[in-house]
Amino acid sequence: MNTKELVLKEYDHLISLRRYFHQHPEPALEEVKTCEKIVQELTNYKIPFEYIAKTAIVATINGTKKPTGKTVALRSDIDALKMADLKNVGYKSTHEGLCHACGHDAHTATLLIAAKILKQKSDEFSGVIKLFFQPAEEVGDGAHLFVNQGHLKGVERVFSVHVSSSIPSGKIAITPGPVQASCDLFTIEVTGRGAHVAQPQKGIDALYIASQIVINLQSIASRNTAALDSVIVGIGTMQAGTQYNIVAEGAKLEGTTRAFTPEIRNFTNKRVTEIAKQTAELFGGSAKISWRDLAPPVINEFNATKEAQKIANLIYSPENVITNQEKQLGADDFALMINETKGVYAYVGTQNDENSNTSVAHHHGLFDIDEKALINSVRMYIDYALSVLNQ
């Protein structure tokens, strides 16, 4: 039985898994019940696994074909978002204030079904297939667990699929080079000196300084970055002052930077620090900047991408394989895995005009997918792994 027939045979199970995860979403680093369901499935498939953290799982399928070959890793993210599910469907979230509005429920289900079929095909390949069920992608805290504990060492290829509501069902995007941006979180704490607002000259207005920092940071994209490069320096929150008639003694800003290359990323973050400190000093105050590294840019390795495109051409047909998808300024910590070995990140189209919710943007409460698109998503996991191992 070929791969397509095996996946179609598992279709009902695939959809039931996706809907189970959709009904029972759990936020980053709290995916306990999600992991219990994953473990239950892996146990049924007789696939060995280990917890490498409270909600991070590595499973392993060993090929029995001789001689012993390479190692391939397949990754799925499993966490949900802290937001309401606004859909009126039978599989709506049963956990108030939590929702799978990015497709991680589908990713988890597809990798499980791929695992089941790859286990059945273990006599058709040599080498090892690792399955990464990763928590906390939404907050950038999951991928490093697999990297730091050495689970990418010796891995020949790493592959991940993400559903996309902007790509029609029946199409897939596999593009070489940068496909998603880096993501860094910064906090700027401005210190001034309080005074009565009627005598501002006796104080140092931290709120005014913070406002100037917000404005000056925009010069990084408009004046410090080449017009053909893309950079975002975004401020999400600003908190300052204690009362309407008091010059603010302190202010706090939180924001993010996004870039598509390590060089531009490093330059942008350096300029944020310089501008914040220099602006504060210009008006007599001071600024302290702290950073949190969430993810580098996702950059698809050329050879791995060509291999995946070849498989996609067979599954989708060449006219449905997008090889020049526009870069996304979103981020994914899968980038940490690609940095360790050759890898590729593919977008599977799940937009279907018959269901308007499948066109809704990710991270919206109405977000949904065309479930039939998951058939080919499973096939991509299976056939890509087998192709690399049997080269």
pLDDT at 126: 95
CA distance 104 to 161: 10
Q: What are phi and psi of 369, to 5 degrees?
A: -135, 160
pLDDT at 288: 98
CATH of domain 3-179+297-389: 3.40.630.10
Ramachandran sector of residue 127 (left: φ over 0; alpha: ψ -120 to 50; beta: rest):
left
| Neighbouring residues of 53: CB distance < 8 A, sequence distance ≥ 6 | 135, 145
Asked whether 170 and 316 are in contact (CB, 8 A), the reply is: yes
- Residue 109: closest CA among 166, 158, 41: 41
Q: Give the burial string for 79-104 (b: 16+ CB within 10 Å, else e).
A: bbbebebebeeebebeeeebbbbbbb
pLDDT at 245: 98
CA distances from 374 to 106, 290, 312, 313, 377 (A): 7, 41, 14, 16, 5
pLDDT at 1: 80
pTM recorded for the entire structure = 0.94
Where would I find the H helices in 184-256?
206-217, 219-223
- Residue type at 317? S
CATH class of 183-295: alpha beta
**Greatest CA separation for the chain:** 84
Q: Show the low-confidence residues of the chain (pLDDT under 50).
A: none
pLDDT at 113: 98
pLDDT in tens, 162-173: 999 999 999 999
| Neighbouring residues of 36: CB distance < 8 A, sequence distance ≥ 6 | none
Where do the domains of the chain lie? 3-179+297-389, 183-295
pLDDT in tens, 252-281: 999 999 999 999 999 999 999 999 999 999
